[in-house]
Chain A
Amino acid sequence: MKCKQWLVLIAAVVAMWVSYSALASDEVVVYSARNEQLIKPLFDAYTKETGVEVKFVTGKAGSLMQRLKAEGENTPADLLITVDAGNLWQAANMGLLQTVLSEKLNQSIPEYLRDPENRWFGLSVRARTIVYNTDKLSDSDLSSYEDLAEPKWRGKLCLRTSKKVYNQSLVAMMIAEHGKPQTESIVKGWVANLATKPFSSDTKMMQAIAAGQCDVGIGNTYYFGRLEDKDPTIPLKLFWPNQQGSGVHVNISGGGVTQHAGNVKGAIALLEWLASEQAQNLFSDSNHEYPANAAVKPSAQVAAWGAFKANPLNVAKAGELQVEAVKLMDRAGYK
C-alpha cells in the first residue's frame, strides 16, 4: 500500500515539474507584493489589449526580494512590483533591478516619484496623513505631524505599529528633513501621547479613532477610503498637515525591471502600459489611490478629500534612511 502511494506521489511531482518548467517566451513574469485582487484585473486588461500573457506570483516584499536574490541569473522574473518606496530602493540597492531608459516612463511619472537612476518607477501614490474624529476635533485643531508630539495631545493619539514599512518611510522622510536628534524627540513625543498600544493595522486604528478610543492618528489615505465606502457616515476626516511647510508625506507603489530579466522588452512594455493613461485609472481607483501619472485625475471619491501640497523630496530617500528610521523608532520606544 505504502509503495503505491509513493509512486503516485512521485508521478504527481514529476507532472508538476514538467508543467511549470515550460514557460512561453512571450510571457512576462511578475513578482508582485501588491495583492492579487488589485493587480489581476490590470494584467487581465493588458492581456486583453495586447495578447501577452502575464504570469505572476504574489508575496511579501521582503520574501520576494530574497527569492530574486537567491535565484540570481536564472530567475524567471521579469518585473518586480512592490509597495513602498523603501522596498523599491532596497531592491535597487541589492542589485535586483536594472536601469530602464524609457522616454514614455520618464514623461508619465514625475521625477520625485521615480528612482534617480531609473531603476524603478512609481505607479500609484498614497498619502500618509492625519486622520481625526470629527465629533471631537475640527480642522483648526490640527497643523502638522510634528505638532502631534506636543503634550496637549497626551492620551489622544493612536498610531500603527512601527513594524509597518509605511511608518518607517514616514520617519525616514522626517529624518531627511529634520535630522536624527529632532526626529527622535518628535517620535518620543508621539509615544508619550499614545492612548493605547500601537495597532497592527491602519484600519483598526481608524476604527478606534471613530469609536473614541483616541482623537487623532496617522494613516494611509486608501484605508480611509475603504472605511468611507463601508460607512459614509463614519465620524472621520482626513487632514492635510504641513501645508505651510514641506507638505504631506506621500509614498508609492511601483515596479522595476529585474536585473536578469529574460523578457526585458516585454517587461518595459508592461511597465509603460501601467504608467499610461488607460491603466492609471484602473491601477489607482481600485484602491482609492492617486495616480502617479500627473496627467490622470484621481477618482471622484478621492478628489473629494481635497487637494494638498505633497512633499517633493524624492521618495527614494525613504529607502535610503529606512534602517536609520527603524533604529530610531526602537530607541524612542515606538513599538
Chain B
Amino acid sequence: MPNTDQLLELNHITQRYGETTVVQEMSLSLQRGEIGCLLGPSGCGKTSVLRGIAGFETVQEGTITLSGQQIAGRGQHLAAEKRRIGMVFQDYALFPHLSAAENIAFGLQGKSRHEKKQRVTEMLALIDMPQCGELYPHELSGGQQQRIALARALAPRPSLLLMDEPFSNLDVTLRERLCLDVRDILKQEQATAILVTHDQQEAFMVADVIGVMNEGRIQQWDSAYNLYHRPKNRFVANFVGEGVFLPGKVVDSERVEIELGIIDGEFDAPCCADCGVDVLLRPDDVLHDDNSPLQAVVKAKAFRGAQILYTLELPTGSEILSLVPSHHNHPIGEPIGIRLDTDHVITFRI
C-alpha cells in the first residue's frame, strides 16, 4: 500500500559509466519533511546517486519514485528540469550576471511580479540577509553565497532538495554554524532534503537519517545514534566514529569475553557460545581509572581541547583508544589505569 508520507524511493538503483559500476543495487526511502544524508569516502558513488536523483545522470537499473510518480528507471528518464527537485552545488553556482535577489527569483518563472517579490523577500529574511538583495555574487562572502544558493533552491518550493557537499568550501567555524542554520531553515520550510558529504560532523548536525555508503552500496541507512552505537558492519563501524577491534569469545547471549575481561550488555550474538568474534571498542567505552588493576601504556595522544584521545597499548600488544578528560595529562610511555564501560556490545563474526 503506497505510503503517502513517503516522498522519495530508490529501488535497487544501479548506475554505470561505461564498464564501471558506480552505484550497485542501492535502495532507500525518505519521508516527507525528513533530512537524509549520504555519507561516505570520495569515490563511493554518493554524488552519482544525487545526480541520478536530480536527473543529470541516468539510471541503468532500478527505479526512482518521487511522490508516487516514477521519474527514472526501466527505460524512462524524466528530464531534470521537469522533476521539481532543487539543488545546491558544492561551488554554489550562482549566476554571476544576476544580483542575489534575481538569483533567488530565477526559479520562479510563471509567477506574477508581486508574488516573486514577496517570495524573494521571504527567502532573504529566512536566510537572514534581508539587505543583500541588490548585491552581486562577487560582492558576497563564501558563507553568504552559500545561503543565497540555498534560498535560490528553496524559493520555488521544490518537493525535494539535494545538496552536494555544500559546506566543503567554507572554513570550519563557519561550517558548524551554517550546518545548524541550514537545518533550521530546512525544518522551517518543512523541506525534504538529501545532503551528500564525506564529513561525519556535518551529517550528524544536519541530517535526521544517514546512509553510509561504500563502493556504490548503502552499508546502513539509520539515525546517527544507531550508526554510532549499532553499526551493522565493519565498514560502518570503522567509518563512523573511532574505535578498534579486539578479538573475543562469545560466552552467552549476554556476555563476551575479551582480554580485558568479560563484557556484559545487550548484543546481537552472531553465533552461539564459544565462537570467536571481533568486538568493537569505542574510545568512550574505555575510561580512565587510576584505581583499576588493568594497565595500558600510553603510545600516542591527541589533544582535543576538552578531551585527550589516548592510544594505549595493552599487555598483549593490542592497541585501544581511550577518550579522557584533558586534565588527565599523561606523558607517552606512562602506564595508566583503564576500565571498560560499555552499554552496547558490538560484535562481528570473524
A and B touch in the complex (CB under 8 A): no
B residues whose Cβ falls under 8 Å from a Cβ of A: none
